[in-house]
Amino acid sequence: MRRDIFQAIADPTRRAIITFLALQAMTPNAIADNFHTTRQSVSKHLRILTECQLVKQEQKGREIYYSLEIEKMKEIDKWLEQFKKIWESRFNQLDDLLKTLKK
């Protein structure tokens, strides 16, 4: 089942996991050590992030390491870019209005 990326990143725990993985690849146990939750709960979050292709797994010996899938994060950034332009335009309009009112 393919999950929605934005639904996946809506969860604060998954966003925190993404933040950890942006710094370095980690095992599920290492990730779980950063939360007051069970290893099974972290595994569920990792499964959802993997299904959305936001993280990838790599087997190293007996351990599985998870790392951030940068290309997928770029897709999210590209989608958000359209809204950044709109917000910047509106802030500029507001700035102009405030300057006019100040005069």
In a shared domain, residues 103 and 64? no
In a shared domain, residues 47 and 22? yes
Instruction: Report the CATH number at residue 49.
Output: 1.10.10.10
Please give the pLDDT value at position 1: 55
pLDDT band at 65 (very low <50, low <70, confident <90, very high): very high
Structural Rg of the chain based on CA atoms:
19
Report pLDDT digits (tens) over 24-44.
Answer: 999 999 999 999 988 999 999
50 contacts 61 by C-beta, under 8 angstroms:
no
- The residue written with tokens 């770029």 in the block is 74
The pTM assigned to this predicted structure is 0.77
**Domain count across the chain:** 2
CA angle, residues 41, 74, 88, in degrees to nearest 5: 110
Task: State which residues form the domain around 77.
Answer: 70-103
